[in-house]
Amino acid sequence: MLAYIVRRVLYAVPILIGVNLITFALFFVVNSPDDMARMQLGTKRVTPEAIEKWKAERGYDKPLLWNSAAEGVGKATRTIFFEKSVRLFALDFGAAEDNRDIAFEIRARMWPSLALALPVFLVGLAVNITFAMFMAFFRATYLDFWGVVLCVAMMSVSTLFYIIGGQFVISKLWHLVPISGYDAGFDAAKFLILPTVIGVIAGIGSGSRWYRTLFLEEMSRDYVRTARAKGLAEATVLFKHVLKNAMIPILTGVVVVIPLLFLGSLLSESFFGIPGLGSYTIDAIQAQDFAVVRAMVFIGSVLYIAGLLLTDLSYTLVDPRVRLE
């Protein structure tokens, strides 16, 4: 298994280089180093000298990908791409364009992201599986039919609607929780109730339908028929056999997102004023802060690769037939 993990980690290197290259290309198609300088220096009284000075200080005065004026390897290394990318692989993210240390920001902001994403993930998973099993249990009845209708209806509604509607009803009309904000420690709880409830509700439609499909597929298998023929109660069949065997496809979708929970939610964090990494990424895109965008995309890629690896490893735990070689 160790050899497998090492091999997968090595595979990740070219993937990360590729992701970095694509991020770099996409960013600089839209923004030039001059645009970045102007964004940081403001719009008033910005002279060409000030722009050149800003670029030189941050290394944006070099060619983007190929330095034909340099000698030998320098043609590739004395470029913005190389100089800005190579440090990422040592997890040295440097400073944002506003001079704040990116690693410090990530360390500080991943906890609020996690504080929201983790309960949404866990509670959402429990609710979705429960509801899906409920529908599977009552398959082909009016309860199943209306359950599916409800799921489709809930899937069709934008997350933004849930957020704005939830804020309006629960916080504005009923005055039950703060409409937005965040605080450290246990004081964060009162701010997390509403986004968690909304996050869970918003995910019920798609999540439950997906799990229902998985359960129904399992329920049509021979071993389920055998269990029923033995006279097992339907609840026992469902919870003891169907759920266990449906865990493999569930794990496929679930384990891969666990590392990504650190990155937070772009929309919820903005609307609920939660200072997490999702909101950090949005801010960086709006501020044309390439240093932060690059760092966040890199971390996202690393976490995604880690999630895929974890998924593969988790197969071996839930399915004895799977061996990693």
Partner 1 sequence: MLFLAGCGGDAWNDPYSERDAGANVLYSSFDERPKHLDPVQSYAENEARFTQQVYEPLLQYHYLKRPYELVPLTAVEVPKPRAIDGGKFTVYEIHIRPGIRYQPHPAFLAENYSLSRETINRLRSPYELPTGTRELDADDYIYQIKRLAHPRLHSPIGVFMGEYIVGLTEYAQRLKKLNSNGWIDLRQYPLEGVERVDAHTFRVKLKGSYPQFVYWLAMPFFAPVPWEAEKFFAQPGMAEKNFTLDWWPVGTGPYMLTENNPNSRMVLERNPNFRGEPYPSEGEPADAAAGLLADAGKTMPFIDRVIYSREKESIPYWNKFLQGYYDTSAIGSDQFDQAVRVSIEGDTTLTPEMENKGIRLSTALTTSTLYLGFNWDDRVVGGSSERARKLRQAISIAFDVEEQIAIFANGSGIAAQGPICPEIFGYREGKEGINPLVYDWVNGKPRRKSIDAARKLLAEAGYPGGRDAKTGQPLVLYLDTVTRGPGDKAAMDWYRRQFEKLSLQLEIRATDWNRFQEKTRTGATQLFRLGWNADYPDPENFLFLLYGPQSRVKSQGENAANYVNAEYDALFEKMKELPSGAERQRVIDRMVEIVRRDAPWIWGTHPKDYSLVHSWVSNDKPNNMARNRIKYLKVDPAKRAAMREQWNHPIWWPLGLILVLLVLSAVPAVRGYRRRERMAARPT
Question: Considering only residues 139-178, where is the footprint of partner 1 by CB under 8 A?
Answer: 140-141, 143, 164, 167-168, 171-178
Residues of span 249-288 touching partner 1 by CB under 8 A = 270-273, 275, 279-280, 283, 287-288
Q: How far is the CB of 88 from partner 1 (least distance, A)?
A: 17
- Distance between alpha carbon 60 and the CA centroid of its chain, in Å? 30
Told to check if 234 binds partner 1 by CB under 8 A, we report yes
How far is residue 142 from each of residues 38, 136, 138, 147, 148, measured CA to CA in Å?
62, 12, 8, 8, 10
DSSP 246-278: THHHHHHHHGGGTGGGGG--HHHHHHHT--SHH
Judged by beta carbon, residue 83 or residue 98, the one nearer partner 1 is: 98
* Nearby residues of 323 by Cβ (< 8 Å), 6 or more positions away: 316
Smaller CB separation from partner 1, 129 or 251: 129
Residue of 162, 177, 191, 176 whose CA lies nearest to 267: 162
Choice between 177 and 305, CB closer to partner 1: 177
| Contact code string over 110-139 relative to partner 1, x by CB under 8 A | ------------------------x--xx-
Answer for which of 118, 127, 228, 258 binds partner 1 (CB under 8 A) is 228
Identify whether the C-beta of residue 268 lies closer than 8 Å to the C-beta of residue 278. yes
How far, CA to CA in Å, does 303 sit from each of 16, 19, 184, 201, 262? 11, 13, 25, 26, 9
Minimum CB distance to partner 1 smaller for 175 or for 321? 175
Q: How many residues does the chain have?
A: 325
62: which 2 tokens?
Answer: 């070099």
CB 194 within 8 A of CB 167: yes
Site for partner 1 in 181-200 (CB under 8 A): 181-183, 187, 189-191, 193
* DSSP states of 143-155: HHHHHHHHHHHHH
Q: Is 78:158 a contact under the CB 8 Å cutoff?
A: no
Count of residues that interact with partner 1, criterion CB under 8 A: 72
Cβ proximity to partner 1: between 52 and 253 the closer is 52
Q: Which of residues 72-111 bind partner 1 (CB under 8 A)?
A: 95, 97-101, 103-105, 108-109
Residues 42-71 binding partner 1 (CB under 8 A) are: 42-50, 53-54, 57
Nearer CB in complex with partner 1: 2/90 = 90
Interaction residues for partner 1, span 286-315 (CB under 8 A): 287-288
Surface-to-core class of residue 24, CB atoms within 10 Å of its CB (0-12 exposed, 13-18 middle, 19+ buried): buried
- Of 271 and 290, CB closest to partner 1: 271
Block residue for tokens 């704040």: 100
Cβ pair 127, 200 in contact under 8 A:
yes
Of 22 and 189, which CB lies nearer to partner 1 in the complex structure?
Answer: 189
CA 35 to chain centre: 29
Residue 118 Cβ vs partner 1, minimum distance, rounded to whole Å: 17
Q: Which secondary-structure segment (H or E) carries 299?
A: helix 290-318
3-state secondary structure of 322: coil
Which window, 9-17, 25-33, 83-91, 251-259, contacts partner 1 (CB under 8 A)? Answer: 25-33
Tell me how far, at minimum, the Cβ of 294 lies from partner 1, in Å. Answer: 18
Applying CB under 8 A, the span of 11-19, 26-34, 199-207, 245-253 interacting with partner 1 comes to: 26-34
Q: How far is the CB of 166 from partner 1 (least distance, A)?
A: 11
C-beta of 59 vs 253, nearer to partner 1: 59
Q: Which of 32, 159, 213, 311 binds partner 1 (CB under 8 A)?
A: 32
